[in-house]
């Protein structure tokens, strides 16, 4: 058995025990007059809204007009950032997809990650290779 | 008018005579010919109008009683205009036509005599109304239109009674076959009448009730046949009786009688029957009762903004919406089919106006401090309007339900 | 072998944000993770699954490498209908592997290998459809299970073809040997990428925009089952040799 040091205080890793959605609030902004809000308005008046909001009881939803502007969805995340998606001229099914994406998002900046698919904070399971130990060959 | 016509005609003639080519190219020909064609068309139009007038005369010029809105017909305006046209036009047209042909009698005008006016008279709305402009609307829309189903039903029934041909013994009804108005001058008992349907379910005629079913006691249930002009109407019939008579009845859109009935219905109720409703009735082959239902639905005012619509839906979902129109239980029964929508949860907030930065400060609780500081510096304090989240009301009701 | 206890339990309430209370009421979290896990059925049975090809590589401090190769049984049929055959060497070494605690697993999703330990974040290179954040998945394809000193490998398929070795479906361990639970954490996007398409001697240029979505998972648990646990599963266990009694006695 390997000698292990004193463990540090556990870091918060969402999803291992409890899981918390990172989005805390989602705003639906529409314009009563403009035609680009047609899809969002039909989404808001359809039963889809009640279904969607009932699915995520931990998120605050606000529906408020924003006159003379294109409709947007604005999400506020736990990490303090916010993301806004313009939904002009979108149908309500597309808007549901956008809203679901915002709800599932972590609120981090979009970063280009190439190849590093696994991110680990654990130390290597098999230890660090050392030239002093093991596998020493006598020539 | 006559002079101008004459002038153009004569000019054309002179032109054509002066040129008098053997071959005329196509464009030129059309140019030359066109005014003549116009002239001819005018002439034919005037004669055609005369023919029309003669054919329309017996129907359209039956003078109704002087009640506006009750007995006016669609043809009123048309007939009037035609009448005026008939008075003014033929002389002018014929004169022009005749004189154009008699080239020798042409005299060039040197004065303005005979012209109705010279130059521009101004915008039409600045001019005083002429007698031709006066018209009588067939439907005067009241300030507050009817939205109640019972009233619609009553008006439809009255329209039916008035317009359907009568086959019975009552002499008062038989005298006026096509246009009778239900008022005090007509001494009949409406409850004794029976609307007969044809085999295909369309309205056919009126009849006396054979049985002595006079004792309709429940006239107090709903005073359906009260109309807007007279509240002291002696003809009373219960909603149930009307429904029973109208059940299964359909409109026959091929007969002009349906049009008469619907028009009379519109006049009585002051509610124009929308085309989509009529289309739905026609395509879906719906009954008269379904027609009334559709009308009631379409007559309800629609919410203007999304916030209003959402609040309305929420109220419906919680059943908070007290419907003042629900007078009798019989009316409620067919409305059962629209199930209340799923309510929004407590995590949804519906705001009726834009969320301003002031609102955000208020939400955080920083606004009081800002306000105090602004006042201390003698600056104006804006943003007094309270952004009342509409969710509050229904959350309260929800809490009460749970308790 | 006992898994770390806090896996299924929540952190204390005061550590949770206020909203956690609300979210726990949702339907996704209603069932406890364990029960959910037991309910999951492997919907995609492995097509080519090697029952037990245990190559237990012992690299102990004694620096003696012992390689125990057992008989490979390339089975192309359904693995779950077949009994799980545990070879003699596996009977000997599996308890040791189970006990040595930090484990790693090389799990495969769409044939791509991912080396995972507990608590890692895995960003799949695609948008997994039909999952919502909070869902728990079980990975049933793994080629390697290991701890510091022991490794359980699915053997390589014995083929001469270089291409087949490189590109063919790898061999997987039997999915009854381990449990690998993943939590769907969310959905990420890369940044909008603009790629300019331009041909030579032609002034026309086209810009192609692309923005991809990626499902993010987190490893909740990697558990290698002990012999007792394997034994409890009905009718699945077969021991290869006479060490059956010895294996059960452990």
Rounded-to-integer distance, Cα C249 and Cα C240, Å: 16
CB pairs below 8 Å between A and B: how many?
A: 65
| Partner-chain contact A63 B348, CB within 8 Å | yes
Taking residues C42-54, what's their average pLDDT?
A: 39
| Partner-chain contact C146 A125, CB within 8 Å | yes
Q: Express as a percent the part of chain C with pLDDT over 90.
A: 43
Query: Residue C5: what pLDDT?
Result: 36
- How many C-beta atoms surround the C-beta of residue A135 within 10 A? 10
The number of helices, as runs of H, and strands, as runs of E, in chain B is: 14, 3
Q: Which of 39-58 (A) contact C at CB < 8 A? A: 55-58
Bridge partners of residue A82, in order along the sequence: A76
Query: Residue C163: what pLDDT?
Result: 80
Torsion of CA B72, B77, B82, B87, to 10 degrees: 90
Interface partners of chain C (CB pairs < 8 Å, 3 or more) are A
Nearest CA in chain C to A121: C120
Query: Residue C35: what pLDDT?
Result: 42
Quote the number of domains for chain C.
1
| Partner-chain contact C148 A110, CB within 8 Å | no
| Partner-chain contact A58 B347, CB within 8 Å | yes
| Partner-chain contact C23 A21, CB within 8 Å | yes
| Domain assignments of chain B as residue spans, ordered by start | 2-93, 149-299, 304-352, 357-402
Contacts of B246 (CB under 8 A, 6+ apart): B153, B156, B157, B160, B195, B287, B288, B289
Query: Residue C115: what pLDDT?
Result: 95
Q: Express as a percent the part of chain C with pLDDT over 70.
A: 61
Query: Residue C71: what pLDDT?
Result: 32
Q: Answer yes or no: pTM beyond 0.90.
A: no
Which pLDDT tens digit goes with each residue over C100-121? 989 999 999 998 999 999 999 9
Question: Residue C53 falls within a domain, yes or no?
Answer: no
Q: Does the pLDDT value for residue B240 go beyond 60?
A: yes
| Partner-chain contact B351 A64, CB within 8 Å | yes
Distance of CA C226 to the CA centre of its chain: 16
Top mean-pLDDT range of A6-10, A108-112, B228-232, C89-93: A108-112
Residue whose pair of structure tokens reads 């600056």 in the numeric block: B379
Mean pLDDT (chain C, rounded): 72
Rounded-to-integer distance, Cα C132 and Cα A104, Å: 8
Rounded-to-integer distance, Cα B259 and Cα B252, Å: 9
Nearest CA in chain A to C118: A122
Question: Residue C222 falls within a domain, yes or no?
Answer: yes
| Partner-chain contact A111 C120, CB within 8 Å | no
Question: Residue C54 falls within a domain, yes or no?
Answer: no
Query: Residue C30: what pLDDT?
Result: 34
Closest by alpha carbon to B243, among B333, B181, B182, B313?
Answer: B333
Query: Residue B32: what pLDDT?
Result: 63
Mutate to test the interface with A, among C119, C183, C210 (most CBs of A within 10 A): C119
Nearest CA in chain A to B343: A50
| Partner-chain contact A122 C118, CB within 8 Å | yes
B183-197, B316-330, C14-28, C160-174: lowest mean pLDDT where? Answer: C14-28
What's the full length of chain B, in residues? 403
**Residues in chain B whose Cβ is within 8 Å of chain A:** 304-307, 309-310, 313, 341-345, 347-355
Q: How far A96 CA lies from chain C's nearest CA (Å)?
A: 13
Higher pLDDT, C192 or B208: C192
Q: Does the pLDDT value for residue C213 go beyond 90?
A: yes
Query: Residue C165: what pLDDT?
Result: 73
Q: Which of 79-118 (A) contact C at CB < 8 A? A: 100-101, 103-106, 108, 110-113, 117-118
Considering only the beta carbons, identify the residue of A15, A111, A125 that sits closest to C102.
A125
Question: For chain A, which domains are there?
Answer: 28-104 (3.40.30.10)
Q: How far A57 CA lies from chain B's nearest CA (Å)?
A: 6
Rounded-to-integer distance, Cα A1 and Cα C66, Å: 18
Asked if B318 and B398 count as a contact pair (C-beta separation under 8 A), the reply is: yes
Higher pLDDT, B196 or B17: B196
Q: Which residues of A touch B307 (CB under 8 A)?
A: 63-65
Q: Considering just the CA atoms, what is the radius of gyration of chain A in Å?
A: 24
Which pLDDT tens digit goes with each residue over B81-96? 444 444 444 444 444 4
Q: Which residues of B touch A56 (CB under 8 A)?
A: 347
Q: Does the pLDDT value for residue C167 go beyond 50?
A: yes
Mutate to test the interface with C, among A58, A86, A116 (most CBs of C within 10 A): A58
Higher pLDDT, C156 or C179: C179
Higher pLDDT, C30 or B373: B373
| Partner-chain contact A106 C188, CB within 8 Å | yes
Mutate to test the interface with A, among C125, C133, C214 (most CBs of A within 10 A): C133
Does residue A62 belong to the interface with chain B, where contact is any CB pair within 8 Å? yes
| Partner-chain contact A118 C120, CB within 8 Å | yes
Q: Does the pLDDT value for residue A22 go beyond 70?
A: yes
Taking residues B260-265, what's their average pLDDT?
A: 86
Q: Which of 2-41 (A) contact B at CB < 8 A? A: 30, 32, 41
Bridge partners of residue C206, in order along the sequence: C197
Question: Residue C90 falls within a domain, yes or no?
Answer: yes
Q: Which residues of A touch C5 (CB under 8 A)?
A: none
CB environment B100-136: b (16+ within 10 A), e (fewer): beeeeeeeeeeeeeeeeeeeeeeeeeeeeeeeeeeee
Nearest CA in chain B to A59: B347
Q: Which element (helix H / strand E) includes C77?
A: none
Query: Residue B149: what pLDDT?
Result: 82
Rounded-to-integer distance, Cα C189 and Cα B241, Å: 67
Q: Which residues of A touch B338 (CB under 8 A)?
A: none
Q: Which residues of A touch B354 (CB under 8 A)?
A: 64-67
Tokens of B354: 């834009």
Considering only the beta carbons, identify the residue of A13, A105, A127 that sits closest to C148.
A127
Q: Which domain holds residue C139?
A: 85-198+206-233
Which pLDDT tens digit goes with each residue over B158-213? 888 777 777 766 655 655 555 566 655 555 566 667 777 777 777 777 776 654 33
Question: Residue C143 falls within a domain, yes or no?
Answer: yes
Considering only the beta carbons, identify the residue of A47, A53, A63 that sits closest to B341.
A47
Query: Residue B326: what pLDDT?
Result: 37
| Partner-chain contact C220 A104, CB within 8 Å | no
Backbone angles phi, psi at C112, to 5 degrees: -80, 135
Nearest CA in chain B to A64: B351
Question: Residue C24 falls within a domain, yes or no?
Answer: no
3-state class percentages of chain C: helix first, strand second, coil last, to nearest 5: 20, 30, 45
Question: Residue C107 falls within a domain, yes or no?
Answer: yes
Considering only the beta carbons, identify the residue of A57, A118, A136 that sits closest to C114.
A118
Does residue A13 belong to the interface with chain C, where contact is any CB pair within 8 Å? yes
| Partner-chain contact A16 C19, CB within 8 Å | no
Asked if this assembly's ipTM is beyond 0.90, the reply is: no
Closest by alpha carbon to B224, among B72, B330, B321?
Answer: B330
Contacts of B349 (CB under 8 A, 6+ apart): A60, A61, A62, A63, B389, B390, B391
Using pLDDT thresholds of 50, 70 and 90, give the confidence band for residue B274. Answer: confident
Backbone angles phi, psi at B202, to 5 degrees: -95, 165
Question: Residue C20 falls within a domain, yes or no?
Answer: no
Nearest CA in chain A to B342: A50
Cβ-defined contacts of B386-390 (< 8 Å, 24+): B387/B351, B387/B353, B387/B355, B387/B356, B387/B359, B387/B362, B388/B352, B389/B349, B389/B350, B389/B351, B390/B307, B390/B310, B390/B311, B390/B314, B390/B349, B390/B350, B390/B351, B390/B352
């Amino acid at each position: 058995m390997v000698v292990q040091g004193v463990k540090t205080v556990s870091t918060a890793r969402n999803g291992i025990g409890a899981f918390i959605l990172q989005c805390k609030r989602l705003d639906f902004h529409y314009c009563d007059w403009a035609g680009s809000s047609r899809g969002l308005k039909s989404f808001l008046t359809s039963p889809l809204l009640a279904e969607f909001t009932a699915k995520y009881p931990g998120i605050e939803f606000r529906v408020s007009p924003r006159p003379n502007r294109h409709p947007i969805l604005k999400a506020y995340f736990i990490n303090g950032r916010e993301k806004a998606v313009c939904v002009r001229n979108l149908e309500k099914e597309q808007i549901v997809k956008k809203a679901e994406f915002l709800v599932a998002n972590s609120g981090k900046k979009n970063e280009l990650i190439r190849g590093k698919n696994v991110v680990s904070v654990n130390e290597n399971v098999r230890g660090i290779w050392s030239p002093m130990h093991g596998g020493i060959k006598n020539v | 008018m006559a002079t101008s016509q004459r002038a153009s005609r004569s000019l054309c003639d002179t032109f054509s005579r002066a040129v008098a080519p053997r071959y005329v190219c196509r464009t030129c020909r059309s140019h030359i010919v066109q005014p003549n064609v116009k002239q001819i068309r005018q002439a034919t139009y005037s004669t055609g109008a005369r023919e029309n007038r003669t054919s329309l005369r017996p129907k359209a010029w039956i003078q109704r009683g002087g009640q506006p809105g009750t007995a006016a017909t669609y043809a009123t305006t048309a007939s009037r205009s035609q009448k005026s046209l008939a008075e003014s036009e033929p002389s002018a047209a014929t004169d022009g036509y005749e004189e154009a042909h008699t080239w020798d009698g042409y005299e060039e005008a040197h004065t303005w005599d005979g012209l109705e006016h010279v130059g521009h008279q101004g915008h039409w709305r600045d001019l005083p109304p002429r007698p031709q402009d006066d018209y009588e609307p067939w439907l005067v829309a009241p300030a507050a239109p009817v939205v109640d189903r019972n009233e619609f039903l009553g008006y439809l029934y009255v329209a039916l009674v008035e317009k359907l041909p009568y086959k019975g013994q009552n002499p008062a009804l038989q005298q006026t076959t096509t246009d009778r108005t239900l008022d005090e001058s007509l001494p009949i008992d409406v409850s004794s009448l029976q609307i007969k349907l044809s085999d295909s379910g369309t309205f056919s005629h009126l009849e006396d009730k054979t049985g002595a079913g006079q004792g309709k006691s429940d006239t107090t249930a709903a005073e359906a046949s009260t109309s807007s002009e007279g509240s002291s109407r002696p003809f009373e019939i219960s909603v149930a009786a009307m429904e029973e008579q109208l059940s299964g009845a359909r409109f026959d859109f091929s007969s002009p009688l349906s049009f008469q009935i619907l028009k009379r219905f519109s006049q009585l109720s002051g509610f124009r029957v929308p085309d989509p409703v009529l289309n739905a009735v026609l395509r879906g082959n719906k009954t008269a009762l379904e027609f009334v239902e559709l009308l009631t639905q379409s007559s309800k005012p629609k919410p203007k903004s999304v916030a209003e619509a959402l609040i309305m839906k929420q109220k419906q979902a919680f059943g908070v919406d007290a419907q003042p129109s629900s007078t009798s239980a019989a009316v409620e029964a067919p409305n059962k089919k629209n199930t209340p929508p799923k309510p929004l949860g407590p995590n949804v907030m519906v705001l009726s106006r834009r969320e301003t930065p002031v609102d955000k400060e208020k939400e955080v609780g920083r606004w009081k401090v800002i306000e105090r500081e602004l006042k201390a510096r003698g600056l104006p304090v804006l943003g007094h309007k309270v952004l009342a989240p509409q969710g509050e009301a229904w959350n309260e009701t929800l809490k009460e339900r749970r308790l | 072998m006992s898994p770390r206890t806090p896996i299924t339990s929540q952190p204390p309430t005061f550590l949770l944000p206020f909203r956690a209370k609300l979210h726990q009421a949702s339907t996704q979290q209603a069932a406890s993770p364990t029960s959910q896990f037991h309910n999951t059925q492997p919907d995609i049975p492995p097509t080519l699954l090697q029952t037990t090809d245990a190559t237990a590589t012992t690299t102990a401090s004694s620096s003696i490498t012992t390689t125990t190769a057992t008989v490979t049984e390339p089975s192309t049929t359904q693995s779950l209908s077949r009994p799980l055959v545990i070879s003699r060497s596996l009977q000997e070494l599996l308890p040791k592997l189970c006990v040595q605690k930090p484990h790693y697993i090389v799990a495969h999703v769409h044939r791509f290998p991912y080396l995972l330990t507990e608590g890692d974040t895995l960003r799949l290179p695609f948008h997994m459809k039909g999952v919502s954040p909070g869902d728990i998945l079980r990975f049933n394809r793994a080629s390697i299970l290991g701890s510091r000193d022991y490794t359980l490998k699915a053997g390589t398929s014995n083929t001469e073809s270089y291409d087949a070795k490189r590109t063919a479906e790898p061999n997987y361990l039997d999915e009854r040997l381990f449990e690998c639970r993943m939590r769907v954490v969310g959905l990420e996007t890369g940044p909008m990428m603009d790629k300019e398409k331009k041909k030579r001697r032609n002034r026309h240029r086209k810009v192609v925009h692309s923005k991809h979505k990626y499902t993010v998972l987190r490893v909740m648990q990697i558990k290698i089952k002990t012999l007792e646990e394997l034994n409890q599963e009905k009718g699945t266990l077969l021991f290869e040799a006479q060490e059956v009694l010895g294996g059960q006695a452990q």
